[in-house]
A and B are shown apart, each in its own frame.
Chain A
């Protein structure tokens, strides 16, 4: 991606510090990064991030997970009903419609749980995701922990901005 200034983005700078070359990063449209990439300490992948990256690739998107970037990281599984997508770095906003479709598919079971909930006592999981959309004119960041359908609406709003 032309014009991507790695120094301006903490997570990308950290990747660079870990030995991931700038030209490798720029070769992708979206990066699915460890959920704590912007923090100190041992890095780990979010439990649903690998499936998300595989589904994006199956849609023809140039997507990299930690393994694709040459990082050998553990994955944290919390075994709760929530979905953790990790940190999504969208480097090319053309792919937003596909990202929306794939994310909706991954969190679809939770959306259904919320919709079909007949009784407030029925457990319904939340979604945890940090999304950064990088455009030449600047970046938009979303730090999301909440019910699933609202996340889809928020990403759709990003698309309308494009």
Chain B
């Protein structure tokens, strides 16, 4: 059984991921880049979940660090996947591939957003954001700006994922990370009141694609995404 990384080695180990991935990705060695991220996730995930460093403030910072790097590794995986998927210049002609690329693009961007405020390498992040932005714009060139589904929800009761109290009553801020745990609103009771079609949605994955219309002018489209971007950590 592999030995658990010591707490004082964690930061160095995590930072090494950035150096190694950047090198492989830059040289277009996508298989190597994917293996790096997969190995990293496999190594850090059990550490994050078993919390071997105790529960003090310093240990909490280490779990936050581990969490950030797990999400970053997954973003690297997304970006590597995008590079592979778009290496075929005819990808816009394949609707299913285009849909997949669009989804992975937003997974990557939102994962980058989660780790951005803890950004360790500003140049790399700016470079990756620019690449993602270019891909996004190529979609507008190919398929137009798009219209998106946007549900309207009445949340009657929601609790805080950190303290389990009413989210309106506690001091935890949704999106902030507390000792490695992201604060989330866990909806306990809700009512789905409608769906809008909007040009600027909360979730860009909910795009209505022209090829998903039938001859009777019916269409299928995603209304909301229930998958959390860090779900892989607990799988």
Q: Would you call the interface of chain B mostly helix, strand, loop, or mixed?
A: mixed
A79 to chain B, nearest CB (A): 4
> Given the interface contacts A58-B171, A75-B158, A80-B202, does A122 sit within 8 Å of B153 by beta carbon?
no
A129 to chain B, nearest CB (A): 17
Q: Which residues of A contact B113 (CB under 8 A)?
A: 109
A125 to chain B, nearest CB (A): 5
The residue from A50, A74, A123 contacting B199, defined by CB atoms under 8 A apart? A123
Contact across chains for B171 and A54 when beta carbons are under 8 A apart: yes
Bound complex: CA A49 to CA B158 (Å): 14
The yes or no answer to B174 lying at the interface (CB within 8 A) is yes
The residue from B133, B155, B196 contacting A75, defined by CB atoms under 8 A apart? B155
> Given the interface contacts A123-B200, A123-B201, A125-B200, does A79 sit within 8 Å of B150 by beta carbon?
yes
Contact across chains for B196 and A80 when beta carbons are under 8 A apart: yes
B229 to chain A, nearest CB (A): 16
Count, A-B residue pairs, CB within 8 A: 78
Bound complex: CA A109 to CA B175 (Å): 13
A136 to chain B, nearest CB (A): 31
Q: Which residues of B contact A119 (CB under 8 A)?
A: 137, 140
Contact across chains for A78 and B140 when beta carbons are under 8 A apart: no
The yes or no answer to A139 lying at the interface (CB within 8 A) is no
Bound complex: CA A65 to CA B152 (Å): 22
Q: Which residues of B contact A126 (CB under 8 A)?
A: 200
> Given the interface contacts A121-B140, A122-B136, does A80 sit within 8 Å of B171 by beta carbon?
no
Contact across chains for B154 and A80 when beta carbons are under 8 A apart: no
Contact across chains for B145 and A121 when beta carbons are under 8 A apart: yes
B197 to chain A, nearest CB (A): 11
> For window 34-80 of chain A, which residues contact chain B by CB distance below 8 Å?
44-45, 50-51, 54-55, 57-58, 65-67, 74-80
> For window 109-157 of chain B, which residues contact chain A by CB distance below 8 Å?
113, 133, 136-137, 140, 144-145, 150-156
The yes or no answer to B163 lying at the interface (CB within 8 A) is no
Contact across chains for B154 and A76 when beta carbons are under 8 A apart: yes
| Chain A residues bordering chain B, tally (CB within 8 A) | 30
Contact across chains for A124 and B150 when beta carbons are under 8 A apart: no
The yes or no answer to B100 lying at the interface (CB within 8 A) is no
Q: Which residues of B contact A76 (CB under 8 A)?
A: 152-155, 193
Q: Which residues of B contact A58 (CB under 8 A)?
A: 171, 173
Contact across chains for B152 and A75 when beta carbons are under 8 A apart: no
The yes or no answer to A81 lying at the interface (CB within 8 A) is yes
Contact across chains for A78 and B152 when beta carbons are under 8 A apart: yes
> Given the interface contacts A79-B151, A121-B140, does A50 sit within 8 Å of B168 by beta carbon?
yes
Contact across chains for B154 and A74 when beta carbons are under 8 A apart: yes
Q: Which residues of B contact A57 (CB under 8 A)?
A: 171
B63 to chain A, nearest CB (A): 22
> Given the interface contacts A54-B173, A79-B201, does A122 sit within 8 Å of B137 by beta carbon?
yes
B128 to chain A, nearest CB (A): 14
Q: Which residues of A contact B153 (CB under 8 A)?
A: 76-79
> Given the interface contacts A75-B158, A80-B196, A123-B201, does A67 sit within 8 Å of B151 by beta carbon?
no
Give 5 closest A-B pairs by Cβ, nearest first: A123-B200, A67-B168, A79-B202, A121-B140, A121-B145
Residues of A within 8 A of B (CB): 44-45, 50-51, 54-55, 57-58, 65-67, 74-82, 109, 116, 118-119, 121-126
